[in-house]
């Protein structure tokens, strides 16, 4: 997906938060977040763009980047020590009971990219992984959940949802391709329905929280 400009939610001299669309990589690809921001921001105001945390190409939502390597390392440490936190919306296949209560997925998984045939990965590679979720809305076809990560394994939410038999709608790596193709045909979008909607992190001596609303395509599918 070609992107000429990214929505900036908040910025300072040392960091900024962007609302990343689906289909754009964070780094290591032509037209990625780093290259777009380097063109978008005023030349001479920074040396480079350093992503602080991961966000899959297929996932939309809030991404924190730094304009200095030292700042990036400091902010990344906040996530590693759980002083900073990302929270997601995910639209899952199938109905789950709506509840204010948080539940936990704790399937051990590898910290590698896997696939639908074996989302957990090889037994020798599996490590502890914990994901909290609560069901906000549901109908007989879909469940909208809020998700928090207690560990940070690669594709953790996607793997855990698939292992729980409620794969994320539109996730072609861990879900059912034929089902996702049918959903794309019905709803006119082939996106993966995972969105990082909240970032909480310590800035200026206090915890600050930044949010984006539920994407309109999530609401459209839920109300159909």
- For 92, 96, 127, 146, 200, the CA distances from 136, given in Å and listed in that order, are 11, 10, 29, 7, 20
77 is written with which tokens? 């440490």
Confirm whether 1-81 and 83-224 share one CATH topology.
yes
Boundaries of every domain in the chain: 1-81, 83-224
CATH of span 1-81: 3.30.2350.10
| Structure tokens, 43 | 């030349």
Tell me the pLDDT band of 184, cut-offs 50, 70 and 90.
Answer: very high
**Mean pLDDT confidence for 201-216:** 92
CATH superfamily ID and name for 83-224: Pseudouridine synthase (3.30.2350.10)
pLDDT digits (tens, 9 = 90+) for 34-50: 989 988 887 666 678 89
Catalytic residues: 56
Confidence bin at 2 (pLDDT 50/70/90): low
User: Mean pLDDT, the chain, as a whole number?
Assistant: 93
Reported as a single tens digit per residue, the pLDDT across 66-80 is 999 999 999 999 998
Instruction: For residue 115, give Cα distances in angstroms to 107, 110, 205.
Output: 15, 11, 41
């Amino acid at each position: 997906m070609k992107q000429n400009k990214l929505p900036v939610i908040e910025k300072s001299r040392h960091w900024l938060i962007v609302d990343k669309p689906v289909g754009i990589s964070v780094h290591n690809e032509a037209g990625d977040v780093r290259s777009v921001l380097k063109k978008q921001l005023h030349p001479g105001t920074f040396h480079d763009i350093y992503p602080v945390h991961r966000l899959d190409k297929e996932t939309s939502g809030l991404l924190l980047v730094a304009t200095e390597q030292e700042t990036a390392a400091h902010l990344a440490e906040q996530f590693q020590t759980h002083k900073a936190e990302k929270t997601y919306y995910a639209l899952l296949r199938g109905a789950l009971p709506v509840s204010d209560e948080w539940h936990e997925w704790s399937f051990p998984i590898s910290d590698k990219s896997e696939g639908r045939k074996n989302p957990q990965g090889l037994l020798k590679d599996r490590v502890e992984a914990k994901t909290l979720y609560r069901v906000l809305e549901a109908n007989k076809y879909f469940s909208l959940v809020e998700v928090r990560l207690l560990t940070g394994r690669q594709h953790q939410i996607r793997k855990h949802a698939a292992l729980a038999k409620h794969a994320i709608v539109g996730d072609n790596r861990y879900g059912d391709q034929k089902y996702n193709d049918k959903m794309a045909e019905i709803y006119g979008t082939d996106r993966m329905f995972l969105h990082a909607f909240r970032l909480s992190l310590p800035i200026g001596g206090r915890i600050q929280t930044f949010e984006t609303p539920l994407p309109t395509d999530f609401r459209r599918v839920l109300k159909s």
